[in-house]
Amino acid sequence: YDLVDISVFEAPELNRTVRVSAGGEVSLPLLGGVQAAGLTPQELERVLQELLRRRYMKDPHVSVFVREMESHPVSVFGAVTKPGVYQIRGTRTLIEVLSLAQGLAEDAGDTVLVMRGRSPTPQALAEEGGDAAGGAEAAAGNNASINLKDLLESGDTRYNVPVHPGDIVKVARAGVVYVVGEVKKPGGFVLRNNENISVLQALALAEGLSRTAAKSHARIIRTDPEGRRSAVPINLDKVLAGKAADPFLAPNDIVFVPNSAARSAFFRGLEATVGTLSGLIIYRR
């Protein structure tokens, strides 16, 4: 819904007729922005009553009446910054819808899938310039799988497909491996779908070791499904010489190469090493 009447019986001065924003929120006195997307009027009434009860009133009674239903929901989830249900009027482009969710998350993979929810409205087709082919695609329930690199870098409008009300947009997740410490380009490196890379391949992405790297004291820091971290020692001297295996990395692994001049770095705690990830640049290939 797009335009709603909100009445607070105990405080008529709070009554408002408000529009739901593109981000799915209604803005109200005292409460500020309140998420409304995806809620029925009755559910929104309960949310507002609870917020008022917590802060301002003992037993508030709120009424929500839908005056206009001009916008409709589109769901955006997966590897985006702010997954959720967003309200759109008519048809929007894929990039516009991803922008509503504040863009891609760091672990976004190679593809975004647009799952067609229902046939577009006549208004939506008119806004597209009467694109019968696009309408037929949606009516037939055809999903669209788009390569993110093509969408963001090619400039080809074919990849910026229309998203209709009721559609679902899902951005695939991909793993990230991190290389920190004494390397020339520390950072996180996004893995391609179903890709596995080794320690030496990760170091190559980081443009190699610096001259002060303590190669024999490197570690792989790994987090298990329960969130427990462990450090696996790796002697890069031996790996580089072909005298030890070049192990494969799992998504979210951290390759840490300490400084040879600072012996204390050899015993650096796991949490301190993980803390260095903050502010790292994430590189897409």
Domains, the chain, in order of start with CATH, read: 3-68 (3.30.1950.10), 72-173 (3.10.560.10), 176-283 (3.10.560.10)
47 with 37: CB under 8 angstroms?
Answer: no
What are the pLDDT digits (tens) for 231-267? 899 999 999 999 999 999 988 899 999 887 754 444 4
Residues of the chain with pLDDT under 50: 119-140, 263-267
Cβ neighbours around 112 below 10 Å, total: 26
pLDDT at 3 (0 to 100): 84
Nearest of 172, 177, 128 to residue 151 by alpha carbon: 172
Residue 278 structure tokens? 């903050």
pLDDT at 267 (0 to 100): 47
Q: CA torsion 115→119→124→127, rounded to 10°?
A: 80
Q: Where would I find the H helices in the chain?
A: 41-55, 94-100, 122-127, 132-139, 148-153, 199-205, 236-240, 270-275
Residue 275 structure tokens? 């803390």
- In order of 39, 177, 181, 187, 188, the CA distances from 191 in angstroms are 36, 7, 20, 13, 10
- In order of 90, 108, 125, 128, 264, the CA distances from 121 in angstroms are 8, 31, 6, 11, 65
